[in-house]
Every structure is written in C-alpha cells, then in structure tokens.
Amino acid sequence: KVQGATGYVVYWSDSKNGTYKKLATVKGTSAESTKFDTGKTYYFKVRAYTKTSGGNIYSAYSSVKSVTVK
C-alpha cells in the first residue's frame, strides 16, 4: 500500500520477461479475475497512481510477483 495513492494499476504476463498487459485499475489493494487458466503460472506487477488536476501521476512499477493458479 502506498500512502496517498488514489489507486493502483495491475499488469500481468504469462512470462516473467514478457509483454505485460493491463489487467485492472483498482481503488483498493486487491483485484480479481477469472481469465487465468488452472495450473499455469502468471506474473504480475503493480504501480500506484495519484489523481491530480493535471492528470494522473504514476509511481515506478513494483517488483514482479509470480502466481500459480490452483
């Protein structure tokens, strides 16, 4: 959780060094999806954003985390 963040953008890929696609923009600290296949490993990274009058300001990306779907 990033203090002062308006929300978070979650990105995913099917390989650690692959191309990441936007999964969701969320206001809280969790996101859910049913688009992933059982038994496969996926990779995720997140960045926080703060909404300002001039537009959104984004943080750097988080480190990559892997998740295997059960």
pLDDT in tens, 29-68: 888 898 899 999 999 999 999 999 999 999 999 999 999 9
Q: How far apart are CA 70 and CA 41, in angstroms?
A: 9
- Reduce the DSSP state of residue 9 to 3 states and report it: strand
Q: What is the token pair recorded at 66?
A: 């892997």
Name the pLDDT band for 15 (thresholds 50, 70, 90). very high
pLDDT number for residue 50: 96
- At position 35, the amino acid (one-letter code) is K
The answer to whether the pTM exceeds 0.75 is yes
